[in-house]
Structure 1
Amino acid sequence: MSNASSIGTSSNLAGTTVVIVGGTSGIGLAAATQAKAAGAQVIVVGRNAANTEEVAAKHGFDGWRAADVTDGAALEAALRDIARVDHLVLLAGTFVAGKIREAEVDYLRRAFDERIWSAVDAVRAVGDRLSQDGSITLISGALADRPTAYGTAVLAAASAAMEAFARGLALELAPVRVNALSPGPIDTPIFSKALGANRDAVVESMRNSLPLKRLGTADEAGAGVLFLMANGWMNGATLNLDGGSRLV
């Protein structure tokens, strides 16, 4: 598959089939466009059919599917007709924030449903159509290491669980490689939606406190996804891509 001169480079992706769940915006879309540029056949999965179809057409992706990742049957149906998957990327998930004594439990439960259980459903749905020399990339987040006091306890727990899940799955599915990307503050639509009207003030505060004095970009995080797919020796690991935000 790879040779010494191309290990860890996106050239490893040429001719492979990459399926990105959550590939219509933010980090997922950035990873999808970069994988397409590297020569991969890219299929994106989004929640809204019309939007997913539009995004796929706009960027020249090779296919699209629509499914709510919290609906296991819908996700299985979306993935069942893909004959071969070389790299499965699972980046779907909203910003679930709420204090455990105040928020609705069903709402808080989405943090795990959108991450752990959707990943279980996706891996089961793909089954043995996942290439033995391929990979799975999961998404966690800096909250796994540094939860905040503002209602992120459950989301932090779900993020940490994704990293443990990646390590366990790397053993269970070997030689399929399984890794997790743990981004810090990335300027994406989900980030802006989570902050709402407070976005500008929060971003300015972050710029003052972060080592690099800025948020990360979706393209930078997407490049991390490509690295995890392309490097054949990266396995059972979490890639912290946070601009040093864990240091402060």
Structure 2
Amino acid sequence: MTTGPLQDERVLVIGRGGGIAHAVAVAARDAGARVIAAGRDRRTLADAYAGEPGISTETVDLTDEATIAAIGTRLGSVDHVVSTASARARGSLADLDRDAVRLSFDTKVIGPLMLAKHLGPRISEAGSFTLFSGVAAAKIAVGTLAVAITNGAADVLARSLALELAPIRVNAISPGVIDTGAWDALGEQGKADYFADIRARNPARRIGTADDIANAVLFAMTSTFLTGVTLHIDGGEPLT
């Protein structure tokens, strides 16, 4: 029988039913894990994973601490927790909405902090907690101020939790421009033009994929001497 590096381990993946979260959940399942995919809309998640054996669904809202505590109680124990959830607050300084900035922090920083509070005691000592940062923290640009400071806070959170939760390992993943639905709002031509510009400038000369990020998450989960680190999976974009 073929076994994988996460054989029979329980992995909780928080996020939407598509894009990066879906790729992470499937990759963990294919590595032998029993995966629980969780998000605010369990019905949507159930539809997204309907054809994926070995992946069950749960409900959690990272802006609601009570639901975080509740999922911990329901699951009992886990080996790895991955939080991919985000709520972007894009725009230049004059256009930023206070509530949007708060939601960005609440989803990507405070939410994972509460996950650590309530699920940390339920993660096995050989397990891990992986959260998400992003390239905007490493490459400052007008129009991404709120995204940058949210991601920067997530980086610091990962390092802080690596001490607080030790020996549980805590790391962050910092994706660059990844081809997911996140860019669909630009329109077909706008997205194509943006991708062409990024592709021409970054050293990897391509746009990232959800599988690129999923592979990095698997590395973070299975590398037993890696903690307090942000893995930059961005094609070298900050260098340009």
TM-score (norm 1): 0.90
Query: Aligned with 2:125: secondary structure?
Result: strand
Query: Aligned with 1:136: secondary structure?
Result: strand
CA displacement 1:113-151 (0-9 Å, x = unmatched): 11111101212222421111100001001111112112x
C-alpha distance in structure 1 between counterparts of 2:17 and 2:193, whole Å: 27
Whether the 8 Å contact between 2:134 and 2:151 is mirrored in structure 1 is yes
Aligned match of 1:162: 154
Percent identical pairs in the alignment equals: 35
Amino acid of the structure 2 residue aligned with 1:98: G
C-alpha distance in structure 2 between counterparts of 1:61 and 1:95, whole Å: 31
Distance change in 2, residues 1:61/1:196 (3 Å): farther
Amino acid of the structure 2 residue aligned with 1:37: D
Aligned match of 1:70: 63
TM alignment of 1:129-148, pairs within 5 A: 129-148=122-141
Which structure is richer in relative contact order (CA contacts within 8 A, separation 6 or more)? Answer: 1
Give yes or no for the alignment of 1:56 onto 2:49.
yes
C-alpha distance in structure 2 between counterparts of 1:155 and 1:143, whole Å: 6
Give yes or no for the alignment of 1:192 onto 2:176.
no
1:218 to 207, 210, 220: 210
Amino acid of the structure 1 residue aligned with 2:227: N
C-alpha distance in structure 2 between counterparts of 1:103 and 1:153, whole Å: 9
C-alpha distance in structure 1 between counterparts of 2:65 and 2:184, whole Å: 28
1:63 Cα deviation from its structure 2 partner:
1.8
1:196 Cα deviation from its structure 2 partner:
4.1
Give yes or no for the alignment of 1:242 onto 2:234.
yes
TM-score (norm 2): 0.93
1:27 to 20, 23, 26: 20
Distance change in 2, residues 1:159/1:236 (3 Å): same
Give yes or no for the alignment of 1:180 onto 2:172.
yes
C-alpha distance in structure 2 between counterparts of 1:166 and 1:34, whole Å: 22
C-alpha distance in structure 1 between counterparts of 2:180 and 2:54, whole Å: 21
Aligned match of 1:4: none
C-alpha distance in structure 1 between counterparts of 2:100 and 2:119, whole Å: 28
1:202 Cα deviation from its structure 2 partner:
0.9
Query: Aligned with 1:12: secondary structure?
Result: coil
Note the residue ranges of structure 2 that are not aligned, 5 or more in a row: none
Whether the 8 Å contact between 1:21 and 1:44 is mirrored in structure 2 is yes
CA displacement 1:134-181 (0-9 Å, x = unmatched): 00001001111112112x111101101111111111011110000001
Whether the 8 Å contact between 1:84 and 1:131 is mirrored in structure 2 is yes
C-alpha distance in structure 1 between counterparts of 2:51 and 2:65, whole Å: 28
Between 130-139 and 92-101, report the one with greater CA deviation.
92-101
Amino acid of the structure 2 residue aligned with 1:79: G
Aligned match of 1:84: 77
C-alpha distance in structure 1 between counterparts of 2:183 and 2:78, whole Å: 29
C-alpha distance in structure 2 between counterparts of 1:149 and 1:103, whole Å: 12
Whether the 8 Å contact between 2:25 and 2:55 is mirrored in structure 1 is no
Amino acid of the structure 2 residue aligned with 1:218: A
Amino acid of the structure 1 residue aligned with 2:200: N
Instruction: Give the 4+ runs in structure 1 shifted more than 3 A.
Output: none
Whether the 8 Å contact between 1:98 and 1:108 is mirrored in structure 2 is no
Aligned match of 2:39: 46
Amino acid of the structure 2 residue aligned with 1:169: L
1:202 to 181, 194, 206: 194
Over aligned residue pairs, what C-alpha RMSD do you find? 1.7
The alignment covers a number of residue pairs equal to 237
